[in-house]
A = this chain, B = another copy of it.
Amino acid sequence: MNAPHDWLQRFHERDPIALAKIITIVENRQPGYQELLDALYPRTGNAYRIGITGPPGAGKSSLVNSLVPLYRAEVKTVAILACDPTSPFSGGALLGDRIRMQDLVANDDGVFIRSMATRGSLGGLAQAAQEVALVLEAFGFDLILLETIGVGQVEIDIAQAADSVVVVLVPQSGDVIQAMKAGLMEIADIFCINKADQGEADIFYRNLQAMLSLAMRDWFPPIVQTVATANQGIEKLKEAIEKHRAFLGEEGLRARRRARLRAFIQELIEQELRVRLWDGSRLRDLEEQLERVWEKTVSPHQVARHLLKQLGISRAA
Interface residues of A (CB under 8 A from B): 34, 37-38, 41-42, 44-45, 55-57, 84-90, 94, 122, 149-154, 174, 177-178, 180-183, 185-186, 215, 258, 261-262, 264-266, 268-270, 272-274, 276-283, 286-287, 289-290, 293-294, 296, 299-305, 307-308, 311-317
Contact = CB atoms under 8 A, between A and B. Distances in A.
Nearest to A257: B294
A180 B90 contact: yes
B177 A300 contact: no
Nearest to A259: B290
Contacts of A89: 180, 183, 185-186, 215
A201 to B, nearest CB: 18
B38 A299 contact: yes
B87 A185 contact: yes
A316 B274 CA distance: 12
A270 B277 contact: yes
B276 A180 contact: no
7 contacts: A34-B305, A38-B301, A57-B178, A258-B294, A273-B308, A279-B316, A312-B312
Given A293-B261, A299-B41, A276 B150 contact: no
Nearest to A313: B276
Contact of A177 (B57, B151, B293): B57
Nearest to A88: B186
B286 A277 contact: no
B38 A302 contact: yes
Contact of A152 (B182, B215, B305): B182
A94 B265 contact: no
Contacts of A45: 296
A278 B301 CA distance: 21
